[in-house]
A and B are shown apart, each in its own frame.
Chain A
Amino acid sequence: MQYEILEHPGDIKIRIFGKDDKELFANAALGMTSYIYGQKITEDRQGPVFFETAEIRSPDKEALLVDWLSEILYRSETNKRAYTDYEILDIKETDLKAKIGSIEAKAIEDIKAVTYSGLKIEKEKDHWEAEVVFDI
């Protein structure tokens, strides 16, 4: 499983899984995209994919996850595109470099912001897990 959408009293929470932190960050962005544009778009994307890069620097890993998702949200909303392809080229505690691909799409849900509320990133024995709450 890449991610699951969980109950939250006012907003939405996504639990994310990955075999390493690279996959965790990619799946987090994918989970957010599938919420905004619908699950179908990430499973069966149509139309030409436009690739670009993203570089993020933050004070720590938790902030890196929030800033990374906030950047994707910003690009998605202003470019009116669904970001469906993620390749994390490099990730450290405070830095991330990624190649991201998007297609033209119409949003079906709004996310206002990525929050720190209840934010968790955990390295388990054989995989990574995270939880992020989005303000919707």
Chain B
Amino acid sequence: MKILDFIQVNPYLFEIPKSYRSDMRVPARIYIKKEMLEAVLKERAIEQLLNVATLPGVDHFALAMPDIHEGYGFPIGGVAAIRARDGVISPGGVGYDINCGVRLLLSEHGHDELKEKILPLVNQMQRDVPSGVGRGGKVVLKESESDEILNTGAEWALKNGYAFGEDLKNIEENGNFKIADAKFVSDKAKKRGADQLGTIGSGNHFLEIQKVEEIYDRETADRFGMFLNQITVMIHTGSRGLGHQVCTDYVRVMNEVVPKYKIVLPDRELACAPFQSEDGQNYFRAMAAAANFAWVNRQMITHLVRGAWERVLKDGKSLKLLYDVAHNIAKLEKYNGREYIVHRKGATRAFPGQPVIIPGSMGTASYVLAGTETAMRETFGSSCHGAGRAMSRMKAKKTIDYNELKQDLAKKEIIFRVGSAKEMLEEAPQAYKNIDDVVDVVHGAGIAKKVAKLKPLAVIKG
């Protein structure tokens, strides 16, 4: 595939027409700048996007955000709205880390007030919030409790003293995906997640103390309760082993049933079933249950972070939840009177006025944006989800000099609490696309508008 195969719709939007491949049901569209597209063409990401355009029931376009990169089945940064009436649901369109997502906590303090407290805060948070490979949480669940979490999500957290009532209003689906049913989650998945509630995990997941470095839209920032130099805390993690197993289980089921529904797929990882079928509905309910688990996970971490703030500053209660967004999920939504199962894999819901939280890579800025009407018209209310990987982990380890990286990051005056040198290299800013470019595209295209930029002060990961 070459850049000439694309039709440029506007400076931020490129299209591959339906005629490009005989099995495409709709055109594919990618929100990106021309200079970023060259790098994407080196991977299989666009081919994967074209595969998405072949799915039964896919409507309008197979969409990709500027943070697109190669995934498995769907590309990361992919969005597909599939008709609920006659289309399919695909676990590969959500991914293994079901409801991987981000939340942002806002403090009442400016950086000047807390300058001397950042170090004790990060130390306390590191002690209190488990992170890294194989680190279990402080709560080990009994089966009955596990089912209640899967069925009621953040409601369980509220009932058990891990949330404030206001928190739930500021979570997508109020942290309780009502369609969820633990009955459709295997014992294996429950066992894999049993000791992982309230844990960050590894990879690109993190806990960060930040400050508001720039405000782009004062009116919206005021409405969000954000101000210049404000200290914030960002949490990025998902449904951990439980979600990974739910996806594994249902990719297996879907692979078995695909022939029954006479669906022809260009990639087995896109295995799917009609949304209205029993197989489709079972996955939808299990996926929703895993999403609830992820919301409780981020809520438990919030509880631990508030505890750490209470110990250090005696004002843990002052940390308010701005919003919690899922960026790996499938949701039933209505557009122009028609119901769609909207698959967002590495993409964030961006409904008008809603905070859209975009985490940067390690040591780089994160952003708060606001959803728009344009997103409702063009992208089924969706926007980007992060920087997006630009270099493989292996290449990062081979080509980036650890000492240089440490010096570069030290110049930025950020406190790092990262598991290992290997992880530092794998997650180095050079290994990711430039977050500023990604956000400029969605802002320029109007599918989300910039509200504030957040600078990291302390990072805990791995």
Residues of A within 8 A of B (CB): 5-12, 58-59, 62-63, 66-67, 70, 74, 77-78, 80, 106-110, 112-117, 119, 133, 135-136
Contact = CB atoms under 8 A, between A and B. Distances in A.
B133 A108 contact: yes
Interface in B66-89: 69-73, 76
A12 B256 CA distance: 25
A5 B191 CA distance: 29
The 7 A-B residue pairs with the shortest CB-CB distance, nearest first, are A117-B72, A116-B268, A115-B72, A112-B244, A113-B96, A9-B70, A116-B269
B98 to A, nearest CB: 10
B295 to A, nearest CB: 19
Interface stretch (B28-36, B246-254, B352-360, B368-376): B246-254
B256 A74 contact: no
20 contacts: A6-B394, A8-B392, A9-B69, A9-B389, A59-B255, A74-B188, A77-B241, A78-B191, A107-B134, A110-B133, A112-B244, A113-B244, A114-B248, A115-B96, A115-B269, A116-B251, A116-B255, A117-B72, A117-B269, A135-B97
A10 B433 CA distance: 12
A117 B392 contact: no
B256 A116 contact: no
Contacts of A78: 188, 191-192, 241
Given A63-B252, A77-B241, A117-B73, A7 B268 contact: no
Given A10-B71, A116-B72, A109 B255 contact: no
Nearest to A134: B72
B130 to A, nearest CB: 14
A136 B203 contact: yes
B256 A10 contact: no
A59 B268 contact: no
B419 to A, nearest CB: 9
A78 B245 CA distance: 11
Interface of B: 43, 45, 69-73, 76, 95-97, 133-134, 188, 191-192, 201-203, 241, 244-245, 247-248, 251-252, 255-256, 267-269, 271, 389, 391-395
Contacts of B248: 70, 74, 113-114
Given A10-B70, A113-B247, 13 more contacts: A8-B392, A9-B391, A10-B392, A62-B268, A74-B192, A80-B134, A113-B244, A115-B251, A115-B269, A116-B267, A117-B72, A117-B73, A135-B97
Contacts of A117: 71-73, 267, 269
A67 B252 CA distance: 8
A135 to B, nearest CB: 5
Nearest to B136: A80
B69 A10 contact: yes
Nearest to B70: A9
Contacts of A106: 134
Given A110-B203, A113-B96, A116-B268, A9 B43 contact: yes
Nearest to B43: A9
Contacts of B191: 78
Contacts of A108: 133
Contacts of A7: 392, 394-395
B368 to A, nearest CB: 25
A113 to B, nearest CB: 4
